[in-house]
Chains A and B, each alone.
Chain A
C-alpha cells in the first residue's frame, strides 16, 4: 500500500527538483520580500512602545516565524495546480488507469507537495536566522512538524479544488482570492489584538491563524493569540490544526476518486 504513496511522492519531488529556474525564482522572491517588507517595517516600528505591542519582540522576530508558516501555506495550496497541469498534459490519465488505488496516489502527491513546500518555508526561515538573532533554533523541529501538518492540509485543499477544475487560470483566480485574505487575517504581518472583533472571529475560522501562532510560539516563545483568547492554549491549537488537515486530506481523497477524464 505504502509503495503507491511513496512513488507519487517521489514523482512530485523529482519534478520540483528538476525545475531549477522555479526554485531560483522562489528563493529570489523570498529574499526580496523579506528585505523590503520585513526590514522596511522593522525600521519603521522601532522603539519600546512597539515592543509592547509585540509582547517584547521586535518586528522582525514577530514577522519571521509567521513568514515560515505563510510561505508553506502559499506554496502548498498552489501545489494543487499540478493536478490541472497533469490533466492538460495527459499524465493524469496514466495515473487514473493504473491499478494503484487513487486515494493512495493522491495522498502520495499531497505528501510530495507538502515536502517541497516545507523546503520553501525552510529557505525563508534560514534567511530569518540570518536577519534576526531572536529566533530559537530549539523550536525548529516542532515548527517543521507544524509546517508539515498544515502543508498536508493545504495541499489537500488545493488538490480538492483543482480536481474540479479544468484550467490553470481558473485555479489561479481561486488561489488568489483565498490566499490573500487568509494570509492577512492570520496575524502574520500585524497582531490580531487590535483589530475589530468581527475580523478576529474570521481569523479564528482559518487554520492558518493557528499555524502562524504556533510557529511563532515555538520559535520565539511568544503567542499573541492567547492574549485575545486565553483559553486558546498551544495544545488546543495543535488539535484544531491537526483535525482540519485530516479533514481536508480526506476530502481531497474522496474528490480525487471521482475525478474523470473528459
Chain B
C-alpha cells in the first residue's frame, strides 16, 4: 500500500489551548479520506498543517512523500487546496483566477491553456469563464475553486468543508464533481466535514474527530457496526407498560417505549427481526399500525462515542456568524 499522507502524533497548541492533541492516521493513494467532526474539533487546523500554512507544535506529517516542516515547497507543488472560506479574487474573471494560479505554480503557455480548458470544462464553467467572479453563485465559486485546485494536477487534494453553506441541491452537485475527480484522475482526496451524509457518501474511510482527537477510524460500515444494531419502530394501537418484557427475539439489544404508542427496538438485523416481532405481537393480539426501521447513521456512532449529538457540539452562533460572513462575500 502506498501512503500519500502519513501523520504521526500531530500536536498544535495555541498558547495554552490545544487544538490538535496528538492525531495519527495514514491516507492511501487514490483514497477519499474524511475528517468528520463538529466545528472546533481541529479539522481545519489539521488541514492547514498538512497544507504547510501552519507549523505543528510537535509530531510528524509526510504529504506526497515530503515532510511538511522540512520541505514545504515540495509539498506545495504536489497538493491542491480548497479552503473553507472563499479564496478567489472577486474582481477578476474565472479565467484570470485560474491563469494567476497556474503561473504561481510554474505553468505557462500552451500547457496552461490546455489545463485551464480541461478543468473548467470538468466543473462545467467553461462558458462562464469570462465573467467576473463577483457575479458567480455560491456553487459556481466552489466549483471554480475545485477547478483551480486541480489545475496543476496535484497528487493530493485537500477540501476543507467543501459544501459548507451551499443549498442541498448544489451540495449533491459538488459531491458528483468530487467523486468524478477520484474516478477520472485517481486523485487522493482529504476532506473535512461536519455533515454525516457527506462523510458517508463520499469517503472511503472516515476518521471521527472530537476535541482535537481521533475517536474512531474506519469505513462508514465499520464505524456503524460499532453500534452493531438497527433500530425498529413499531406503532401499536395500545401499549402495555410491560410490553417490552414480553418480546423475546434473537439479537434484541434493547426495547423502549417512546411517545405516542410506539416502541423502539434495537436489533442486530432489522430484516430478520421484524417478522419475529410481528408474530409476537400477533400472538398477543396487539394491532400493529405502523412499522419502520432505521440503519444506524454516523451521527448515532458519534452519540455512542461522545454521549452527545454532533449538532449540539457545534458552536451554533459561530456557525451562523460564518454563514452571514459567507453570504456577504457572495453578494
B87 interface neighbour in A10, A11, A94, Cβ under 8 Å = A94
Chain B contacts for A7, CB-based, 8 A = 100, 103-104
In the complex, which residue of chain A has the Cβ closest to the Cβ of B92? Answer: A14
A95 to B54, CA, bound (A): 14
The residue in chain B whose Cβ has the minimal distance to the Cβ of A15 is B91
Whether A97 contacts B81 by the Cβ 8 Å rule is yes
Instruction: Across the interface, name the chain A residue whose C-beta is closest to B148.
Output: A94
Cβ distance A256 to chain B, nearest Cβ, rounded Å: 14
Within the complex, the shortest CB–CB distance from B143 to chain A, in Å, comes to 16
Most chain B CB within 10 A, of A91, A94, A105, is at A94
Q: Does B73 contact A (CB under 8 A)?
A: yes
Q: Are A98 and B104 in contact, CB atoms less than 8 angstroms apart? A: yes
From 127 to 162 in chain B, residues with beta carbon under 8 angstroms from any chain A beta carbon are 132, 148
Also in contact, A261 and B48, with CB within 8 A (given A11-B89, A89-B90, A91-B88): yes
> Given A3, A90, A99, which contacts B85 in the complex, CB threshold below 8 Å?
A90
Min Cβ gap B109→A in Å is 11
A262 CB → nearest B CB, Å: 10
A88 to B73, CA, bound (A): 24
Q: Total number of A-B contacts with CB less than 8 angstroms? A: 76
Which residues of A96-113 have CB atoms within 8 Å of chain B's CB atoms? 96-100, 105
In chain A, residues 23-41, which have Cβ atoms closer than 8 Å to a Cβ of chain B?
none
Known: A18-B92, A90-B87, A91-B88. A261 touches B53 (CB 8 A): yes
Chain A proximity of B192: nearest CB distance (Å)? 15
CB atoms of A90 and B83 under 8 A apart: yes
The answer, yes or no, to whether A130 is at the interface (CB within 8 Å) is no
Count of residues in A whose CB is under 8 Å from the partner chain: 25
Interface magnitude class on chain B? 20 to 34
A7-B100, A11-B100, A18-B132 in contact; A97/B86 too (CB < 8 A)? no
Contact between A260 and B77, CB atoms less than 8 A apart: no
Q: How far is the CB of A12 from chain B (nearest CB, A)?
A: 11
Residues of B close to A260: CB separation below 8 A: 53-54
Q: Which of B221-254 contact A (CB under 8 A)?
A: none
Among A6, A91, A97, which residue has the most Cβ atoms of chain B within 10 A? A97
Q: Contact at B91–A93, with CB atoms within 8 Å?
A: no
What chain B residues lie within 8 Å of A15 (beta carbons)? 89, 91-92
Chain B nearest CB from A230 CB (Å) reads 50
Residue pair B87, A91 in contact (C-beta under 8 Å): yes
Mask, A59-98, CB within 8 Å of B = 1, is 0000000000000000000000000000001111111111
The 7 A-B pairs at the shortest CB distance, nearest first, are namely: A90-B87, A7-B103, A98-B104, A99-B76, A100-B104, A99-B77, A94-B87
11 A–B contact pairs at CB < 8 A?
Answer: A3-B106, A4-B104, A18-B92, A90-B83, A90-B87, A93-B83, A96-B53, A97-B81, A98-B105, A99-B106, A261-B48
